[in-house]
Every structure is written in C-alpha cells, then in structure tokens.
Amino acid sequence: MTTALTEIKHLPTLILLVCCEYLAIFKKTVAMHEVFLCRVAAHPILRKDLNFHVFLEYNQDLSVRGKNKKEKLEDFFKNMVKSADGVIVSGVKDVDDFFEHERTFLVEYHNRVKDASGKSDKMTRSHKSVADDCNRIGSSLYTLGTQDSTDMCKFFLKVSELFDKTRKIEARVSADEDLKLSDLLKYYLRESQAAKDLLYRRSRSLVDYENANKALDKARAKNKDVLQAETTQQVCCQKFEKISESAKQELVDFKTRRVAAFRKNLVELAELELKHAKGNLQLLQSCLAVLNGDT
C-alpha cells in the first residue's frame, strides 16, 4: 500500500518532468528556427527572395509540399555526384591564396567541430543520467523516511527533498549545456559543411573555366568554332569571378558570424552554469544548516 501511495505522490512530479522535457526540446527547436530566419534575413541576396517574404508575411497556412520520391532520389544522386566530384576537384590547387587558406582551414575546422559536437552530446547526456539517478535516490530516501521509526525519518525526508530540488537544477544544467554548447557546435558543423560546399561549387566552376580555356586554345589552334568557344569561355569566366566574389564575402561573413555566435553562447553558457551552481550551493547549504541544527 505504501509503495502505491509513493508512486501516486510522484505522479504530478512525473507529469512535471515530461512537461519540462517537452519545454526544453521546444525551446531548442524555436531557438534554432530563429537563428535560421535571422541568417536568411541578414543575407544580402537571400533576403530579397520572394519565398522568404511570403513565409514571413502570409498570415494563413502555407501549403508546403514535401519532397516526393523523385525529388528525394534526385537529392541522393546529387550528393553522390558531389562527393565523387569533391575528391577530384579538391586535388586542384587554387591560385588564390585566400581560397587556398580557407579550404585548408575549413576542412580541418569542420572535422574538429564534428568531433567536439559529438563529445559535447555525450557529455550532456551523461549529465542527464546523473540527474535521473539523483531523482531515484530522492524517492528512495523518501520511502526510507516514511518507514523509519527512529529519529532518522525527518532527516531522510529533508535529504530526499534536497535531492529532488538539486536534481531539477542538474537537469537544467544539462539542458542549458545542450542548448548553448551542443546546439552551437551542431549548427556550426552544418555551417562549415555549407561553406565547404560553397568552395566546392567554386572549384567546380574553376574547373569549368579552365576546361573552357583549354577548349578555346584548341579551337583557335584548329580555327574551328572559335566564336562559340570564346563565348563559352567568357561565360565561364564571368561565372567563376562572380562566384569567387560572393564566396569571398560569404566566407568573411561566416567568420564574423561564427565569432559572434560563439561569444554569445559561451558567455551565456558560463552565466547559466554559474547561476545553477550558485542555486545548488544555496540549497545544499541551507539543507546542511537544518540538518546540523537538528542533530
């Protein structure tokens, strides 16, 4: 009978726990969406996109069609081609120092962010396990407190209460670490991947340009289809220069944003960790004061 009662006692706590979890996940998702939209709005070209405006302004339901099978398959093949190409293209050394430096940097950075992101996830999950254990310990102590016939019962109940409260704080630490650290790293994992993709597209266009040059030389040598070759070459050249220019800007922006985002998140992380540690400390100290006063 007693065990059933203790279960019921914990039912509101369970409901609360589930709500807290849901809230945490919801907060995360909202934050990520906000970052995405801000990015698009800040982008000189993308901000003018009509789809974007519709998304922000249309006050009724958007009927967004999901990708059908065909489109998904297309995406899949595109990725395959890209990775195969990427191997070929990355062999080409870049004339421009800036882009060469960026490429080396991005490749290494991307790998390290990936690693850090994974490790941060594991760390956050461990933190949550610890919080869950504290929860179980709290309820065991509660049962001990209700059953004990000696002086210990008040003691156990007080400590059980403490564990309940510190557990909540631990859970919040874990959630905040997840939000400020793990999510940051995940986001920049994807960003660095996008930057790499940009470089790839530029390299592709460079290869096209070089191929067009070779074709032009050949055409001039054979004196056949020179005009067509010239046009193709000019188009490639323009494309290449345009993409190079925008890529340069994008990469510079990428660095600025990255630094700002890391700064914001690290500062917030440190502030939250401090807040929680102080809260925890206060709980522990006041509990100890009560317990020491009793004995």
Partner 1 sequence: MAAEREPPPLGEARQPELEELEDGEDLFTSTVSTLESSPSSPEPASLPTEDISTNSNGPKTAEIILDDDREDLFAEATEEVSLDSPEREPILSPDPTPAITPVTPTTLVTPRMESKSITAPVIFDRSREEIEEEANGDVFDIEINVSDPEKVGDGMNAYMAYRVTTKTSLSMFHKNEFSVKRRFSDFLGLHSKLATKYLHVGYIVPPAPEKSIVGMTKVKVGKEDSSSTEFVEKRRAALERYLQRTVKHPTLLQDPDLRQFLESSELPRAVNTQALSGAGILRMVNKAADAVNKMTIKMNESDAWFEEKQQQFENLDQQLRKLHASVEALVCHRKELSANTAAFAKSAAMLGNSEDHTALSRALSQLAEVEEKIDQLHQEQAFADFYVFSELLGDYIRLIAAVKGVLDHRMKCWQKWQDAQVTLQKKREAEAKLQLANKPDKLQQAKDEIKEEIEEWETKVQQGERDFEQISKTIRKEVGRFEKERVKDFKTVIIKYLESLVQTQQQLIKYWEAFLPEAKAIA
What's the CA gap between 23 and 30, in Å, rounded? Answer: 10
Tell the smallest beta-carbon distance from residue 266 to partner 1 (Å): 4
Binding part of the chain for partner 1, among 9-17, 73-81, 121-129, 244-252 by CB under 8 A, reads 121-129
Task: Decide if residue 127 touches partner 1 (CB under 8 A).
Answer: yes
> Which segment (22-30, 53-61, 236-244, 281-289) binds partner 1 by CB under 8 A?
281-289
User: Please, which contacts does 119-122 make with residues 24 or more away whose CB atoms are closer than 8 Å?
Assistant: 120/177, 120/181, 120/182, 120/185, 121/178, 121/182
Of the candidates 9, 33, 72, 112, which one interacts with partner 1 according to CB under 8 A? 112
What residue type is assigned to position 295 of the chain? T
Residue selected from 85, 161, 253, 273 as contacting partner 1 according to rule CB under 8 A? 273
CB of 255 to partner 1, least distance (A): 6
CB of 202 to partner 1, least distance (A): 19
* Torsions phi, psi for 250 (to 5 deg): -60, -45
CB-wise, 121 or 208, nearer to partner 1? 121
Q: Of the candidates 149, 221, 223, 227, which one interacts with partner 1 according to CB under 8 A?
A: 149
**Region of 37-45, 207-215, 219-227, 256-264 interacting with partner 1 (CB under 8 A):** 256-264
d(CA 273, CA 155): 29
Verify binding: residue 263, partner 1, rule CB under 8 A: yes
Q: Is the CB of residue 134 less than 8 Å from the CB of residue 167?
A: yes
For residue 262, state whether it binds partner 1 (rule: CB under 8 A): yes
**Closest of 40, 244, 204, 198 to residue 106, by C-alpha:** 198
Interface residue with partner 1 among 33, 53, 122, 218 (CB under 8 A) is 122
Q: Interface with partner 1 includes 144 (CB under 8 A)?
A: yes
Pick 100 or 271: Cβ nearer partner 1 = 271
Residues 6 or more apart from 131 whose CB is under 8 A from it? 167, 170, 171, 173, 174
Q: Does 196 bind partner 1 (CB under 8 A)?
A: no
Q: Could you say which of 83, 129, 211, 228 contacts partner 1 (CB under 8 A)?
A: 129
Asked if 133 is part of the footprint of partner 1 (rule: CB under 8 A), the reply reads yes
Q: Which stretch binds partner 1 (CB under 8 A): 53-61, 92-100, 105-113, 201-209?
A: 105-113
Q: Is position 113 an interface residue for partner 1 (rule: CB under 8 A)?
A: yes
What are the residues binding partner 1 (CB under 8 A)?
105, 108-109, 112-113, 115-116, 119-120, 122-123, 125-127, 129-130, 133-134, 136-137, 140-141, 143-144, 147-152, 155, 159, 162, 166, 255, 258-259, 262-263, 266-267, 269-271, 273-274, 277-278, 280-281, 284-285, 287-288, 291-292, 295
